[in-house]
Amino acid sequence: CGVFGVIGVADAANFVALGLHALQHRGQEAGGIVSYDPVQGFNSARRFGYVRDNFTKADVMSTLPGELAIGHVRYSTAGSKGATAIRDVQPFFGEFSMGGAAIAHNGNLTNAAALRKELIERGSIFQSSSDSECIIHLMARSIQTNISERIKDALRRVEGAFSVVAMTRTKLIGVRDAHGVRPLVLGRVGDSGWALSSETCGLDIIGAEFVREIEPGEMVVIEGNKVLSTRPFTPAPSRFCIFEQVYFSRPDSILGGRSVYETRRQIGVELAKESPVDADLVCPVPDSGTPAAIGFSQESGIPYAMGIIRNQYMGRTFIEPTESIRNMGVRLKLNVNRALIKGKRVILVDDSVVRGTTSRKIKDMILEAGAAEVHFRIASPPTAWPCFYGVDTPERSKLLAATMTEDEMRDWIGVDSLKFISLDGLYRAAGVEAGRDPKAPKFCDACFSGEYPITPSDKIAEGFEM
């Protein structure tokens, strides 16, 4: 998901709509905005579909007045199976004795099922099926007398990954979990305003100046011109999601002081060094494989070409929640550039192999177009473990790499060769020269390594074995 907030500018909701539009790649199912105005109070709009189709029209935007607003773009993750109901669309709102508050959450809470059960037994009335709603109910039960303290209380009880953007009548609040699994950045809007965004690309679109990242375990409370920073949680090692670097974030964003595009290009360079192959063309599987394919071509000297053309009017395939739509998705989105491919030995670069359905279909299309050889190079290590921290991966049994060796995967996909970047190569590409330190890895890489930095306690209670 993507979260965004703005304080201190007229018509803040318009800025939030733009920010969410820039973060649309983080969630395409639905979006919502809450605003506050001293005369009109809190208002909200939650809609299915793209930001541009919902939050550009005067009839919606005129209902969201005020100089303070937050928003959320949603894609459903492991915690919330099946179709999204409008009641699952964030931000969530709560009315407390000291006033209202709204929250928007990116990430996944790993003890939400246990908390929900406990809260319901003690009288909380849940409105949605979302893990994030626990935060509101925990806030309601806190004995603190101001809302930011209640948010702290609530977030000290949850486990898992969270980058939260919240608002009261006067404050914009940003929090990252102790490991800093999901991103969150702070920006300056003109002389009077501030913005919080999942990624820096959300600041760019509104012309905000990037100030800094919210640090792992940090909470900022912004009121007027002041940004107050505190550390509400027990300190923990920073474990930013390495898959944000590979796939999830936009390539024009800056993460950890480093360009995402450059990291991805460097992944391609590492891949070409680790797993070279003689061929005529390097082609990306667009768009997610593009920077790595450029790096692969630069390092290997094999020409880069657009062997697969993407229909710009389709979103990210995997974000569609059902298997059947996902299966159709590849063909709806990608087509082979036949004239280029015919008779050629082609290296295809993609970001990841999850179920393997994408790779297999692309191989079919490429061979049908007359390619002489097909070699897959993948910009991440084999995805062998599900993510419980906010990226939608299927259960282990559906992950190709959980059930097959690399050679078996190559034969199942049906290509001449298949190679994944090593975990060390990925760390080097992400700026960690020495590669992955097995005793203290700099990133979360659980979907590749199986080493979960935060115990997925709900999943373990359901029978998941680490």
Spatial contact of 315 and 28, defined as CB atoms under 8 Å apart:
yes
Q: Tell me which residues in 122-161 interact with ligand SF4 (CB under 6 A).
A: none
DSSP 398: G
Residue 192 labeled ligand binder: no
The one catalytic residue in 1, 134, 201, 283 is: 1
Which lies closer to Mg ion via its Cβ, residue 90 or residue 288? 288
Residue 288 labeled ligand binder: yes
Shortest distance, position 290 Cβ to ligand SF4, whole Å: 20
Shortest distance, position 314 Cβ to ligand 5GP, whole Å: 12
Total residues in contact with ligand SF4, by rule CB under 6 A: 11
Q: Tell me which residues in 427-456 interact with ligand SF4 (CB under 6 A).
A: 444-447
Q: Collapsing DSSP states into helix, strand and coil, what is residue 164?
A: strand
Instruction: Report CA dihedral (257, 258, 261, 263) to the nearest 10 degrees.
Output: -150
Spatial contact of 100 and 168, defined as CB atoms under 8 Å apart:
yes
Q: Count the residues in the chain.
A: 466
Shortest distance, position 253 Cβ to ligand SF4, whole Å: 15
Strand partners, 255: 258
Whole-number Å distance between alpha carbons of 111 and 80: 13
CA 389, 392, 395, 399 dihedral sign is negative
Residue 444 labeled ligand binder: yes
Spatial contact of 42 and 36, defined as CB atoms under 8 Å apart:
yes
Of 178, 241, 279, 400, which one interacts with ligand SF4 (CB under 6 A)? 241
Spatial contact of 308 and 344, defined as CB atoms under 8 Å apart:
no
Please choose which of Mg ion, ligand 5GP, ligand SF4, none residue 270 contacts, taking the beta carbon within 5 to 8 angstroms, the exact cut-off set by kind.
none
Shortest distance, position 79 Cβ to ligand SF4, whole Å: 13
Spatial contact of 256 and 278, defined as CB atoms under 8 Å apart:
no
Shortest distance, position 247 Cβ to Mg ion, whole Å: 8
242 touching ligand SF4, by CB under 6 A: yes
Spatial contact of 427 and 266, defined as CB atoms under 8 Å apart:
no
Whole-number Å distance between alpha carbons of 459 and 465: 8
DSSP 85: P
Burial, 100: exposed, middle or buried (Cβ in 10 Å; 0-12, 13-18, 19+)?
middle
Instruction: Assess whether 201 carries a catalytic annotation.
Output: no
Please choose which of Mg ion, ligand SF4, ligand 5GP, none residue 181 contacts, taking the beta carbon within 5 to 8 angstroms, the exact cut-off set by kind.
ligand SF4
Shortest distance, position 387 Cβ to ligand 5GP, whole Å: 7
Please choose which of ligand SF4, Mg ion, ligand 5GP, none residue 382 contacts, taking the beta carbon within 5 to 8 angstroms, the exact cut-off set by kind.
none
The contact set with ligand 5GP (CB under 6 A) reads 247, 285, 288, 318, 350-359, 391-393
How many alpha carbons fall within 13 Å on the CB side of residue 328?
Answer: 8
Write the Ramachandran bin of 356: left for phi over 0, alpha for psi from -120 to 50, otherwise beta: left
The contact set with Mg ion (CB under 5 A) reads 288
Residue 351 labeled ligand binder: yes
30 touching ligand SF4, by CB under 6 A: no
Which lies closer to ligand 5GP via its Cβ, residue 201 or residue 447? 447
Please choose which of ligand 5GP, ligand SF4, Mg ion, none residue 14 contacts, taking the beta carbon within 5 to 8 angstroms, the exact cut-off set by kind.
none
353 touching ligand SF4, by CB under 6 A: no
Whole-number Å distance between alpha carbons of 425 and 454: 24
401 touching ligand SF4, by CB under 6 A: no
Which lies closer to Mg ion via its Cβ, residue 288 or residue 300? 288
272 touching ligand SF4, by CB under 6 A: no
- Provide the annotated binding site for [4Fe-4S] cluster: 241, 387, 444, 447
Positions marked catalytic: 1
